[in-house]
Structure 1
């Protein structure tokens, strides 16, 4: 094959053979890089010991969530977190061994494998979208901060997002019920996955039958109940108040996005309300003008059609024309909107959306490749300014509003011929 043909393949998003070769090479590169990071970069403790301490209480039989605590404070994640880190707790030999140098090294190896699996799921999602060229997949492997989040810090954010991307690939294949179970598993590890829920609900309403949509929502709720059963059966109020606490106010000191706002404003209820209002308005605008544009808009044709199907009990005959690209973009845009209007973003939160940035940028062919690369570089810079400054935070907010505008201005994802909904 000539050099010209190779370059053409590397620039063709629909060249599945080239995509497979690139992805395999990148996974091998990631595993090697993670091995080097573990061997050469000194481990700095942040939350790992606290995670092990929280799980230690569960391992000893405690089911009262208010009594599950670590050195950094109380346990504030749902039950899926407990089970995931209890498995790690057992693997590394318990609290004492797990927090030793050898235990930490073992856990880092596990997280390197989690990261590789995470990347494989992201690559699968991208391959089905057929939006970005194979060479650009390498951009998903170049973040210093993301590697740190996985293999140096071992945050639960990476586990949650691996499940979220796994769910996305199932949704792209129109496996709505199975995808909803995996999605709920991700939520159970960390609730940030809920930022994708508005987009998911729009997809369920418009891309499935009424019965499937109701079944998917039931699967999300049912999975949470099943996972929380040991705690709900013993100390339900304590579990619900701690695991699903939505009103927490993060420390202004560690904010990456709103460091330019004074602390008094940052912690105020008014600031939180304005951000929530902006978040909801943006979601409704995207739902009406972007996600449901082909159906005549979210208000009122889209919703009316769903309830019409429901009342007519037409639960099996709906035909969906949502492509894998449309599914992934709706979820990524829903997630990005949550990021843009979040009151506080801490450094590990970068993993919530980093892997969707190329998808969002390449969805708009009007933006030059050089500009796309510059945007990604600027975002990476913002996340590596430590501690964040008012200047870096202002740049952060402006760039992310720009990415949101790029996503909004992108051509509507094409639809294929009608396919029967799962």
Structure 2
């Protein structure tokens, strides 16, 4: 690691920590005003952002990036306006900071309050998702946190342009532009430096593929809010309604195949498959879904290829899907236990007992009955923009909105009490 890289990253983290002190005392109204200014400015400057994004897309094509990757990287006027819409939605959300979660008085008269407060400084490490630059910033500022952004090199021009626009917008607001730091270096050393900057960064949030997330989780000494990849399953039970099952499958697989809440595996009860195989085959064919199946699936579904061990764990992010045939809900759950990533899992059935079994035994952040996994999203669930989807169990789980970016503080008030 070069001294220059280390020195600059540390300098930015220190600036963010100082700015966090200003954020911590702002009112909700003041923070909301800033979010609206950011939204207006992003819309006004969308052409600047698209011009920078064009450079990243051109570089991506030259490097032969996959279609799913390019989809996450690409910006349009509509997507930039969606960024702005997300900021305005966050402004409308209830501010969790300052909420009194509980309040009691001890026998000696000491008053005790448990209050939500900002985490402080958030380090955000992410890949080819320019939307994260805006979403994470909006959520951080609304919850009273400063943020240090480290996007992937593939989106370096897009992210830098977005942050430059936001810095311009912040010039005339009560939030100093130092509250939003962007590490423009593409040197891996810059990311590694964030891993160990415990004295300046309060929490790291990685968002991207499995290799990125594992690198952060395995190497960071800063506390990590772990987001996870999405090997999501749709289990079609023996008495599942055909129309519901096929509509859910199509939506979960094809609506946006490159996102983490898309379905990657279809588990289907053998008796349902025997009865409705023609409808399933036609649906797969119409939607150009390529099947990697077990022996029974390959025997039944024309064109299916035999799945190997990697297929069951694969996050395809494409129109490929793994298909597993089982003889019970318990077998479906066992398969999910072995290969799932604790992200989002769905059961399609009209059997109440099967629903209860599935909901009680499947270990995942989000579970669905007769609905698509595509709803595991902060916006879809009413959180506004999300900072990521947590698949861990401590502090936050599932789509992380504003409350996930706060911690608690105990505030005691007395009249001279001593112990």
TM bracket, shorter-chain basis:
under 0.3
| Higher radius of gyration, 1 or 2 | 2
Higher strand share: 2
